[in-house]
Amino acid sequence: MRHSGWADERFGAVADAFSRNFAEFAELGAAVTVFAGGRKVVDLWGGVADERGGRPWERDTIVPVFSCAKGVVGICAHLLAQQGRLDLDAPVSRYWPGFARAGKEAITTRMVLGHRAGLPVLDRTLSFEEITEWTPVIDAIEEQEPLWEPGAAYEYHAHVFGFLVGEVIRRITGLTPGAYFREAIGDERGLSTWIGLPRSEFGRLARLAEAEGRPPMPGPETLPMRMVTMNGAFVFPGLDEPHGWNDPALLGAEVPGAGAVSSASGLAALYASAVTGVGGSPRLLTPETVTGAVRELSSGATWSGFPDVGARWGSGFLLDSGFRPMLGPRSFGNDGAGGQFAFGDDEFGIGFAYVANRMIGYGDARARRLVTAVRECLTAA
């Protein structure tokens, strides 16, 4: 497949891996962007943004990136902590007094960022409309009892992660997390990344498609499905149904745990901004802030008994591991249910992002191949 864009000669292996993905994984449309030392060194795209009419993937195409949203929220939380506005190790109730109910008095923002707060799902079943109103979700979180002693175990916090950390951000800044991100980071840097997509951007949105042979999802009553659908309010994997992940009503809402929409360039530039700065601008996060973010908080088997797959979690981010290989101990990022992945590393000065619209499977090999190519390019230099 002929792709568009370019790669510095030093990073030619990334272009080769990108082409092989189309040949070997039946990519529909995809893009990869890499920054090194604050400079864009790879910017590639190709394929089809919408298979219904064959609309091509363009340089500025954006796509739902699911839980890559957690990285956006995590960077915002660490920025506020760096500014002295948020103490990640203070009780959430310092900023949100109504949270201190039903056994949640000692829960800190860092526990939530590490998926250790005991709140992976909510007991209350909320409608789609209630979720998009924000306040009903916050009320439900206030009522919720932790499923385990906070801090004693971990389980992926899916959507609750975004709403809970997002409400802390709102209490401090007066802005919901998607709005705060645009004001504090996204607008100034011109990033094509949103939590709550503006209607003006819908024209460049790629359409998600399910790959054949994708593993079946468990039943709706199971903990994993309750987590990813908020007790059935969102449809998954039925992408084209109302409240599925191609629905403009869902993409336009602020769903901060999994509702980000971005280009590859937008996510890569976000992480590059965090670890090096871009185009001569100062880095967003200091080395000390990154050191705190990459300290491991969670790994191993989960509270529900899901076996140890090798994943390691810091404060809001996946860390380098056999489950999600990156570049080393200073790497931090997040991935998405469609195979998308973005991360930063301040030791190597890298901001990376891969996005695609054919959903092959969570943690599939496409992004892994590209990261491997980046690593080989860096070590060969």
pLDDT tens per residue across span 103-113: 999 999 999 99
Cross-strand partners of 33: 43, 353
- Cα 183 from Cα 185, distance rounded (Å): 6
Return the DSSP state at 102. T
Residue 322 exposure: Cα atoms within 13 Å on the Cβ side? 5
Tell me which residue of 336, 128, 363 sits closest to 247, measured CA to CA.
128
- Cα 135 from Cα 257, distance rounded (Å): 15
Q: Assess contact for 116 and 316: CB atoms under 8 A.
A: no
pLDDT tens per residue across span 151-208: 999 999 999 999 999 999 999 999 999 999 999 999 999 999 999 999 999 999 999 9
Q: How high is the mean pLDDT of the chain?
A: 95
pLDDT band of residue 1 (cuts 50, 70, 90) is low
pLDDT tens per residue across span 15-48: 999 999 999 998 999 999 999 999 999 999 999 9
Burial class of residue 282, CB neighbours in 10 A (0-12, 13-18, 19+): exposed
- Give the pTM: 0.97
Taking residues 242-261, what's their average pLDDT? 96
**Is residue 231's pLDDT more than 70?**
yes
Q: Helical H runs in 242-302?
A: 248-251, 264-275, 287-293
